[in-house]
Structure 1
């Protein structure tokens, strides 16, 4: 099941990075990203690329079982299993 969900995350992330322009046309520009990223122009595109890369990395980490290792320090903060 990890492989399936990991591949889904990788596919979604790849799609976001690959089809950034149609996504921006469909959802519109993000004002915060335009102000704070990439000097005022293209910030929305940059934000979508970063989100896509995060999806790919987290999907791969989940698929290989590394997400638990990196998230284990946060268990005490969010009240995870003891």
Structure 2
């Protein structure tokens, strides 16, 4: 089941990255992206970054590495409590 969920997340991220112009035409520009990521192309870059993040999360879910990654990220905080 995690394989198919990861594949679905990857496909959604790929669609968001490849069809950025379609998303801008149908959902509009995002003011925060325009303000923080650039003047005119901020929303395009923002949509692509969200898509790339979704692809990376999809790969992590598909390979089952979520627990290992979360343990690695939180290890500096929890190693002193043992």
TMscore range, shorter length? 0.7 to 0.9
Match of 2:60 in 1: 61
Match of 1:5 in 2: 5
Per-residue CA distance 1:28-64 (angstroms, 9 max, x = gap): 1111111110x31110000000000011110011111
Q: Secondary structure of the residue that 1:40 maps to in structure 2?
A: coil
- When normalised by structure 2's length, the TM-score is 0.83
Aligned length: 74
Structure whose alpha-carbon radius of gyration is higher: 2
Q: CA deviation at 1:15?
A: 0.3
Q: CA deviation at 1:70?
A: 1.4
- When normalised by structure 1's length, the TM-score is 0.83
Match of 1:18 in 2: 18
Give me the CA root mean square deviation.
1.4
Structure 1 distance, partners of 2:63, 2:7, is: 11
Match of 1:80 in 2: none
Match of 1:47 in 2: 46
